[in-house]
Amino acid sequence: MTDYREPQSIMPVASDSAAVPRSIPLPLRLAQVAACLAVAYCALDAARHTTVAVPPQGPMLFAAGDAAPAALSQLADLGALAGPPLASIEVIVQRQDTLERIFRRLQLSLADLADIRALDGMRALIDRLNPGEQLRFLHRDGSLLGLERHLSLTQKLEVRRTDTGFQATVVPRPIETQGTVAHGVIESSLFEAANAAGLADPTVLELARIFASDVDFVLGLRQGDEFSVYYQRISQNGEYVKDGEILAARFVNQGHVFEAVRYVGPDGVAGYYSPDGRSMQKAFLRAPLEFRRVSSGFSRARLHPILDRIRAHRGVDYAAPIGTPVLAAGAGRLRFRGWKGGYGNVIEIDHGGGIETVYGHLSRFAAARAGAHVERGQTIGFVGMTGLATGPHLHYEFHVNGQYVDPQRVKLADARPIDPSLFADFELKTAPLLAALAPSAAAQVAVR
């Protein structure tokens, strides 16, 4: 039989020696109660005078009863935020790349590509890619959200996914153009002096092309020759991008001063002219390719490197890598194209007026065939070392009435000068450009 016991108190039992609290007198208790009531009354009165009524708040955010909160209806649209994150990929276009190949490589939706290409005018903007250019893709889990491509220095293509499909926009990319003057003195080479003056290599080549018919940039440069160039510097977002057009230039070579200024005619065609309106583009190029050095100059007697005997060298050899384009020195008819003894692959052009040019040791020919008309500066072949040649170079000859002449020293006929009816406009537009050239001692030398 279970033994039920009375639970024991957990409170300690006072011992006989513990102090027994005395009872509080009744008047003192009444005084304490009165004090508490007075404090409570003061508090209530203060609250009544400092509380401001709250205006009605309108409809409740959450409806009463079992109705769902209004904000919860939007959670389905925000659910994508919990999905895969956005990814931004930058791609450098490789040789033979197409957008389809890039999409497959990145595992992007080809259906998205088809939708983009279906947009009006898009195929012309995206079907042809250039090796080395950069594309930017924005996607989520293979679904394309955006595409960017720089169409030019001043334009960018932006493709964005919208609620109704893809939308393409050509966005302008503003540039800043500033006119700048560079001046240099040649100590060892034109490139070194021009680079030290702040000119980029393409601008140096353009400077050489402008004066190519007047200055022999291979054998004619001398220490102390100098140049001044007024040109455009192009920046974007405050950062230098590249050099722009040469607007005016002065070149001092062996004491002779040559000046050129850029003029854009009413037809929009730009050209370089001397201050008196003569075209800087002569009827012939002084050299039929962009060269860096000459391995053998013109002479009446030279030890032939293969035949090992003295032999007249009727022309100039331009050392250049195999495959360097060879240009027609002037307009004319391609009289001969083929193999000819020590010349190897050779081209002969009849320019009329008793002038003929010869281009030897070519590795191969361009498209123009014998009998075809070629223009000044047109590519006709490529540097090689066929025939009697010890290394890759172009052998170039200039004939006048059947006689060999030094192509680097022959006086070249001027191209057509500016139309007299445009001369007033020419002077008006070019005077500020010529004035922008920094003054130099070269200005004291008579302009030839």
| pLDDT of 56 | 45
Spatial distance between the Cα atoms of 57 and 350, rounded to a whole number of angstroms = 97
Report residue 355 as tokens.
Answer: 């002038």
Q: Considering just the CA atoms, what is the radius of gyration of the chain in Å?
A: 44
Instruction: Map out the domains of the chain with their CATH numbers.
Output: 86-172 (3.10.450.350), 175-282+414-448 (3.10.450.350), 293-405 (2.70.70.10)
| pLDDT of 373 | 96
> Which parts of the chain sit beneath pLDDT 50?
1-21, 50-82, 293-312, 440-448
Report residue 408 as tokens.
Answer: 């680097």
- Read off the pLDDT of residues 389-402 as tens digits, 9 standing for 90 and up: 888 999 999 999 99
Query: Which helix (H) or strand (E) covers residue 251, if one does?
Result: strand 239-253
Q: Are 382 and 346 in contact (CB under 8 A)?
A: no
- Read off the pLDDT of residues 241-288 as tens digits, 9 standing for 90 and up: 999 999 999 999 999 999 999 999 998 989 999 999 999 988 888 778
Spatial distance between the Cα atoms of 447 and 48, rounded to a whole number of angstroms = 102
- How many helices and strands in the chain, by DSSP H and E? 7, 22
| pLDDT of 23 | 60
| pLDDT of 290 | 63
| pLDDT of 169 | 95
| pLDDT of 41 | 66
| pLDDT of 409 | 77
- 249-252: long-range contacts at Cβ-Cβ below 8 A with a sequence spacing of 24 or more? 249/207, 249/210, 249/211, 249/437, 250/437, 250/440, 250/442, 250/443, 251/207, 251/211, 251/214, 251/215, 251/225, 251/226, 251/227, 252/225, 252/226, 252/227, 252/440, 252/442, 252/445
Closest listed residue to residue 326, CA positions, set 267, 390, 383: 383
The partner residues of 379 in beta bridges, in order of sequence, read 327
Spatial distance between the Cα atoms of 84 and 142, rounded to a whole number of angstroms = 10
